[in-house]
Amino acid sequence: MREVEPNSLDAIIDAARVGDHPTHEDRERNKRALFAKIAGATAAGGSIVASSTTTAAAPALATTAAAVATSTALTAKLAGAAVVLTLASVGAGVAYTRRSAPARPASASAIDRHTQSSHQSISSPSAPSIARRAAPLPARAAMDPAPQPPATDTLAAQRAANTVTAQPARPAVSAAAPQAATSARAGHTTRVAQSAPSTLADELTLLRSARGALARSDTTAALATLDRYAQQFSRGMLRPEALSLRVDALCAAGQRERARAVASELAREAHGAPLVERALRACR
């Protein structure tokens, strides 16, 4: 706050006018989610009428539908747990907040096809522990070569449930769903302990890189690195540290509310840790 004198409304307005823009990531994330919604609504016979532009957008859907699971939202309170989990699994390996969700969509939809490879590694519906540990990075990379936005909270998966009009889970899966749902609800505290099959050194490398970027005030690079960490180590051993860094980076980037959301998430996951106290104070 050295360039902008706090005692001038005009100075604040001038600075805010040029300083308030979406990031590339914001643009891409929304584009994927939006086009998936449009295509989904059209395919479902919804009220959104397909235009010629939808045809142009359709190819994008192949790589974007799976990414819907990471779009942020608030509106999925009504989604049934099984449905939520079903779609959460669509984002398996994508959303770092993914709860254990072995269920998979019944249909051979585009989403299903494009997440097939990731499901192969977690396809045992009665073994949520396998799903938790799975970090299908190669599969993920294959199914979504586009830059992957960060998942910000569990609502992302819920939103996907609302958005894509979830298919009912297969009967074989339904028995596992309530179990998984329970685990999802309790997951905040147990998740951290369930470490991903990652190597600590690799995790550290990424986090050091993020910290370095942050030290240079390069919040974009820091957040991008943290996104990469989240993708690669959705159950990483240093996940609390990564979340803490993300809070710092978001604060520095001016995304205060998002920072607070991440801090809250960290507080749920790593209750009592010194990091939490620090994160909750981060933007003050």
Partner 1 sequence: MQLALAAIDSNPPAATGAAEDASEPLSFEGVYSDHFDFVWRSARRLGVPQASLDDCVQDVFLVVHRRLSDFEGRSSVRTWLFGIVRRVVRDHRATARERATTSDTVELSQLVDTRSEAPDESAARAEATRILNALLETLDDDKREAFVLSELEQFSVPEIAEATGVNVNTVYARVRAARRELEQALARLRHSQQWTQRCAK
- Interface residues with partner 1 (CB under 8 A) are 1-4, 6-7, 9, 11-22, 26-27, 29-31, 33-34, 37-38, 41, 47-49, 51, 53-54, 56-57, 71-75, 77, 152-153, 155, 159, 217, 219, 251-258, 260-261, 264, 283-284
Least Å distance, CB 208 to partner 1, is 19
The DSSP call for residue 169 is B
Nearer to partner 1 by Cβ, of 7 and 145: the residue is: 7
Residue 13: partners with Cβ closer than 8 Å, 6 or more residues away: none
Residues 86, 92, 97, 100, CA torsion sign = positive
Least Å distance, CB 261 to partner 1, is 6
Nearer to partner 1 by Cβ, of 115 and 163: the residue is: 163
Q: Are 73 and 156 a contacting pair, CB within 8 Å? A: yes
Q: Are 70 and 144 a contacting pair, CB within 8 Å? A: no
Least Å distance, CB 141 to partner 1, is 23
The two three-digit tokens of residue 72, written as one number: 């942020």
Nearer to partner 1 by Cβ, of 31 and 133: the residue is: 31
Nearer to partner 1 by Cβ, of 93 and 150: the residue is: 150
Task: Produce one character per residue of 41-60: b if its CB has 16 or more CB atoms within 10 Å, e if not.
Answer: bbbeeeeeeeeeebeebbeb
Least Å distance, CB 98 to partner 1, is 18
Q: Exposed, middle or buried, 206 (CB in 10 Å: 0-12/13-18/19+)?
A: buried
Least Å distance, CB 49 to partner 1, is 7
Nearer to partner 1 by Cβ, of 84 and 176: the residue is: 84
